[in-house]
Amino acid sequence: MQPDHLILIGDFAPLTLSMLADINHAAGLSKTLHIIIQTPNHAPLPCGRTPTLADAVRWVQMACQSFGFIKIHTFGSLALPDMSFDYRNNTQLTKHQFLAICQALNITAHTTMLGIKSSHKDTLHPFELTLPKYGHASNYDDELVQNNPLAYFHQLSAVCRYFYTQTVCIVGGESSGKTTLVQKLANYYGASIAPEMGRLYTHSHLGGSELALQYSDYASIAINHANAIETARTTASSAVTLIDTDFATTQAFCEIYEGRTHPLVAEFAKQMRLDFTIYLDNNVAWVADGMRRLGDDHQRSLFANKLLEILARYDIGHHIINDTDYHKRYLQALSLIDNHIFNHFTKIHDN
């Protein structure tokens, strides 16, 4: 007989495709599915970010918001202490704890089942229901995904990919090859891109040359760049999201061209932090594109020094690439990204 209520308990961080398959299946086995989300406790991402309980709740609510028969809870929202249980493994929940949950949910225990993914026990408790493994999503073990979410990025639900993708920003002076490198890296990683908004703004609002640029334009450029970064993150197609230049670069242009700091650009630089920054040294040949104004070696050096000063001012750590060969720069960037981001969890587990 179909139970009136089915309960799934887990931390759902990250929310994976196989978890969503479990939720879909469990929802078909009862009239109402209750999901109780525990506080996540996982190794931090390379950038130091770790998912909170609110993050996990947001992801499950976003994925299930169209389903009125699915109710989302936390132990805190039920005024219960955290219980060490996860439906995907063999952790235990006592009958007393199960009855306490039913009471908090205001449901009848004998019409309620507790969902578990699998069990190695000879017999199940009377209130436990085993969920089968099935479908393409079950080809991946959730524990593998949780232990290394970046290596299994394609197994993450779309609603949480923005949190896990690592923003890699390429900065540098004029004509240092930033945009070309961003495009090549995006091709390699299959990554989304936040383009250099100052360049796009120059074409769309200034007629294609920085000659018309003035102080009032920098706020619009920074806002457009913030929106582009947010769009690239929320539509992330890879564990890496590429950012062409940053707010420190915009501030450097403002201070060089206008002789003063822009407070809005400064605030973006302080508050909208990117995960990993690569600085390209200005030691490659100047390429005129009809738009740039800082052409001679003295001007390029002045801008590069200003950018490095501003990176330090806003405490933006960066890795320097100074090879004069463009292809070697590309290979060095790949090595930096792979070592910092994709080998991160391997190093943790090795230790």
Q: Quote the tokens at residue 306.
A: 């200003």
Q: Which residue's entry shows tokens 């060490």?
A: 84
d(CA 216, CA 222): 11
d(CA 253, CA 273): 19
Q: Which residue's entry shows tokens 């990919």?
A: 161
If one compares 349 and 321, the residue with the highest pLDDT of the two is: 321
How many other CB atoms are found less than 10 A from the CB of residue 348? 13
pLDDT at residue 291 above 90? no
Tally: H helices and E strands in the chain: 13, 10
Q: Indicate the angle between helix axes 217-234 and 197-205, nearest 10 degrees.
A: 130
d(CA 146, CA 149): 5
pLDDT digits (tens, 9 = 90+) for 192-230: 999 999 889 988 998 888 888 999 999 999 999 999 999
How far, CA to CA in Å, does 308 sit from each of 90, 257, 280, 304, 325? Answer: 53, 16, 11, 6, 22
Mean pLDDT, all residues of the chain = 90
Q: Mean pLDDT throughout 118-141?
A: 68
Q: Mean pLDDT throughout 241-267?
A: 96
Instruction: Say what the pLDDT of residue 234 is.
Output: 96
pTM of the model: 0.90
d(CA 178, CA 280): 7
d(CA 26, CA 279): 49
High-pLDDT (> 90) share of the chain, %: 70
Provide DSSP, 223-244: HHHHHHHHHHHHT--SSEEEEE
Three-class SS state of 30: coil
Provide DSSP, 236-274: --SSEEEEES-HHHHHHHHHHHHSS--HHHHHHHHHS--
Instruction: Say what the pLDDT of residue 287 is.
Output: 62
